[in-house]
Amino acid sequence: MEAYLDNAATTQVFDSVKDIMIKTLREDYGNPSSMHSKGMKAEQYIKESKQIIAKNLKVDEKEIIFTSGGTESNNQALIGTAFANKRAGNHIITTRIEHPSVYNPLIYLEDFGFRITYLNVDNKGKIDIEQLKNEITDETILVSVMYVNNEIGAVQEIEQISNIIKEANKNTLFHVDAIQAFGKYLIYPKRLGIDLLSISGHKIHGPKGSGILFVRDKVKVKPILFGGDQQKGLRSGTENVPAIAGLGQAVFEIYNNHEQKINHLYELKQYFIDRMKEIEEVTINGLDDNIKSTAPHIISVSFAGIRSEVLLHALEEKNVYVSAGSACSSNHPSLSGTLIAIGVKKELLDSTIRFSFSVNTTREEIDYAVSALNEIIPLLRKYRRH
């Protein structure tokens, strides 16, 4: 048997996504900028995907920009917005538990004179609201907060954060990395007060190399790619029609019977947590008393006395696939900034595994994974470091 429990890293595409991508690769393969019928057919796929996405976000189609994925969406949002608004100020606020595709663009911006403030979080991964209130000034041009943390599944109070930002400085823009949240929550940026929103296709059973950046109308953003002025000049380059078509189809599928899908995920999460009680010296990180205040698909578990990389490969030998912390930045795990920020004990930082589910995950997979853990862990602990 196989248990793929690494869905926060990537998901298997839906069959309908595969089918539409093959069609655009083999039949409707025209360049969407071409004026002939092949090009117009390709352009139609882009329009249809944009309609699906705009409908699910309750935004205007012209506010949707297609990208190569979450990393590009975050880079475009942060760098493009900072440079476009630098006359208004040089201060940006983010949190201590962001993804590297947020951290690294901000480090880059420091070289251009931007000042970055990092908000602290509590042991559940929630940001310090009072600190946010105190840090916003007339110079604050942008706040960037992750909706769902990719390592522990912490969920931020996005609407509350937006209200605080706009009350403190109505000109401060609000960017949300929704890469782990989209598909799990109904997200309406305009109702929530979000100015820029990043989405990735391969987290919702769409293709890798596909992403979305929502940019609210009249928000000033400079391009970071220059070329043929596609997508209003904000994101030049021939559109990746197969990826865009597949992404639109994935959005349609993931939000079809959405409540049923999310209930399934929470049931799996609770079941997995209950099964973890069978194993000694286990800590579940960032878990709230109410699991529905955390994301439905991510669980971070520390196994005392066992290095995460060793456990990962031992599970792999039994066809159980997980991540050591987060698989998004490197296949060479390092100590997690998120786990440090929420106060995980030092001895557990290198003993943490992330399990993550999808709408395709079954109880049988969880049972198989727990059975493998029950077999592996006593053996590995025999070699515990003292």
Q: Which residues are catalytically annotated? A: 328
Q: Within a 13 Å sphere around the CA of 79, how many CA atoms are in the beta-carbon half?
A: 20
8 Å CB contact between 156 and 145: yes
Paired tokens of 47 = 């329009």
Q: Which of 370, 353, 348 is nearest to 278 (CA)?
A: 370
Alpha-carbon distance 133 to 164, whole Å?
Answer: 7
Strand ranges for 216-351 from DSSP E? 282-285, 298-303, 320-321
Strand ranges for the chain from DSSP E? 3-4, 64-67, 91-95, 115-119, 140-146, 173-177, 196-200, 211-215, 282-285, 298-303, 320-321, 352-356
Other beta carbons less than 10 A from residue 280's beta carbon? 11
End-to-end CA separation in angstroms for the chain:
35
The helix, strand and coil proportions of the chain, stated in percent and rounded to the nearest 5, come to: 40, 15, 40
Alpha-carbon distance 88 to 292, whole Å?
Answer: 39
Q: Which of 131, 136, 107, 102 is nearest to 119 (CA)?
A: 131
Alpha-carbon distance 352 to 355, whole Å?
Answer: 10
C-alpha 51: how far from its chain's center? 22
Alpha-carbon distance 271 to 73, whole Å?
Answer: 34
Q: Sign of torsion, CA 247 255 18 11?
A: positive
- DSSP-assigned letters across all residues of 73-111: HHHHHHHHHHHHTTTT--EEEEETT--HHHHHHHHHHHT
